[in-house]
Amino acid sequence: MESSLLDQWIGQFGYAAMFLALCLGIIGIPVPNEIVVMTAGVAAGTGYFLPLPAFAATYAGVVSGISFGYAMGRLFGPSIVKRLMSLGNRRIGKGLSGKWSKRYDGIGLSLSYFIPLIRHLMPYLTGMNKMPYGKLAVYAYGSGFVWTLIYFLLGYYAGNHIRDIEEALIRHGSTLLWLIAVLGSVFVIVRSTRSRERKESLP
């Protein structure tokens, strides 16, 4: 979604534009979520929106998107896994419903909202693996709140440079994504290794 189109949404729908853009983003609508939240911050910083309602509408969009992905994973995830298994993709099917989600689901959810694309995938996977809703709320909604607050304040206080920030995110976003992915992989490997060593040291 281009920024100009988002501006049109804001002019037409007001606060609801923030909610709709982020809610639809989780189901694959090509919305650059960071830019959506920063735009809400800019609108609040320039007086077009009131800060608290703007942030509330934005965060509500984040929560609804996470909840929708989780619900879809719970409803349709098992049938997808069975379909993959029947087609011979047993490794993929087992991976989607495997032990990694049971061991790292909380950590993965907390980190995933700071990684583009991954943030859209994790709610489906946690729903597919039937994570308790209360646990989803603690990890996903909590990290989503922090993520929303960071980008909202960035737009609020750096509104005059919003276009420069957008260009920087587009230009360096893939590099940042790979860096975060590598660091996350290292963290998981180290944690897994230490856990295995502790188990082996037990009598």
The alpha carbon of 78 is separated from its chain's Cα centroid by a whole number of angstroms, namely: 22
Write down the pLDDT at residue 145: 95
Write down the pLDDT at residue 1: 46
φ/ψ of residue 179, rounded to 5: -65, -45
The three-state secondary structure class of 22 is helix
Write down the pLDDT at residue 97: 46
The alpha carbon of 190 is separated from its chain's Cα centroid by a whole number of angstroms, namely: 24
The C-alpha atoms of residue 63 and residue 30 are separated, in whole angstroms, by 18
Write down the pLDDT at residue 119: 78
Domain residue extents for the chain = 3-201
Q: What is the pLDDT along the chain (203 residues), one digit of tens a residue?
A: 445 666 777 878 888 888 888 887 655 555 578 888 988 998 898 889 999 999 999 999 999 988 988 898 888 876 765 665 555 544 544 444 455 455 556 777 788 788 777 777 888 888 888 888 898 889 999 999 999 999 999 889 886 666 666 566 556 555 655 565 566 555 555 555 665 556 556 55
